[in-house]
């Protein structure tokens, strides 16, 4: 099986061309390929599939084999993969996801390869049942591990809980992350963003649902901007600084969030299954 290893500011993925057929059990395949000791190693597995409604369909499996509705960094990587391999040379191009059809605008470098991608991530959702969060409000307070934290919950097609109350050290991050991800208030579990304001920018640590610590999360960056701007802590366009690099997020007057950042190919290869 041929594969391409890619990353978006350190959030890394294995991409497979599924236009001529998809694997029968992608969850089991993700568990095997994403293992960093016995497989290729990645935060997730992305299948590029044909779509009747868009230029391509994206399925993303987390490293634990669970399927995610969306992934912003993975979406940018898929856009580069489709264009650079010739599977789809449209610009902009449209990608079908479990969170809907999203449009990507590609910045092409002098060699004809994709350098960066701007993704229309759609409008954030603050409705508690749709996020979902088991609360009458998307603003909740949780007591976990000796900490009492306020969270602003957002869906970007997948659930996020954002706090500006704590920017944890490594030990606290490792202890709180799994407790919050699987807290009973989140019926489908949740991505957790710990934030620290830095002027008109924000620094973020992400505990990603199904993956744990990751160097970046595109939907998480969008959720942080939506949460921060809603609470007047951030402007409607800001740099979101993640461990692997920076994404620029813009919330336009029409209500959509636009994410701009790089996508890079690490290597291609072949693995026997």
Q: What residues are annotated to the active site?
A: 71, 217
Residue 195's nearest CA partner among 187, 186, 204 is 204
Cβ-based neighbours of 12, under 8 Å, separated by 6 or more:
5, 6, 41, 42, 43, 215, 266
Q: How far apart are CA 268 and CA 144, in angstroms?
A: 42
Q: How far apart are CA 79 and CA 94, in angstroms?
A: 9
Q: Which helix (H) or strand (E) holds 149?
A: strand 147-155
| DSSP sequence for 156-177 | SSSEEEEESS----HHHHHHHH
Q: How far apart are CA 17 and CA 47, in angstroms?
A: 6
Secondary structure tally for the chain: helices H, strands E: 4, 18
CB 179 within 8 A of CB 186: no
């Amino acid at each position: 099986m041929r594969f391409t290893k890619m990353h978006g500011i350190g959030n890394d993925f294995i991409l497979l061309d599924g236009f001529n057929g998809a694997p029968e059990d992608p969850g089991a395949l993700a568990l095997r390929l994403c293992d960093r000791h016995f497989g290729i190693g990645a935060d997730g597995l992305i299948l590029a599939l044909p779509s009747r409604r868009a230029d391509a369909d994206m399925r993303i499996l987390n490293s634990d084999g669970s399927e995610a509705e969306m992934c912003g960094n993975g979406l940018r990587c898929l856009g580069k993969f489709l264009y650079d391999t010739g599977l789809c040379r449209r610009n902009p191009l449209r990608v079908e996801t479990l969170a809907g059809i999203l449009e990507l605008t590609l910045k092409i470098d002098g060699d004809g390869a994709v350098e960066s991608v701007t993704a229309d991530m759609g409008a954030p959702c603050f409705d508690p049942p749709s996020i979902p969060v088991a609360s009458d409000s998307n603003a909740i307070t949780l007591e976990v591990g000796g900490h009492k934290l306020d969270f602003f919950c957002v869906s970007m097609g997948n659930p996020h809980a954002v706090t500006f109350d704590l920017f944890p050290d490594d030990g606290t991050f490792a202890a709180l992350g799994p407790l919050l991800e699987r807290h009973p208030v989140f019926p489908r579990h949740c991505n957790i963003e710990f934030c620290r304001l830095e002027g008109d920018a924000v620094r973020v640590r992400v505990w990603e649902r199904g993956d744990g610590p990751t160097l970046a999360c595109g939907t998480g960056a969008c959720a942080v901007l939506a949460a921060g701007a809603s609470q007047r802590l951030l402007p409607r366009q800001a740099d979101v600084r993640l461990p692997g690099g920076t994404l620029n997020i813009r919330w336009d007057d029409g209500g959509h969030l636009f994410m701009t950042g790089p996508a890079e190919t690490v290597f291609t290869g072949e693995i026997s299954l």
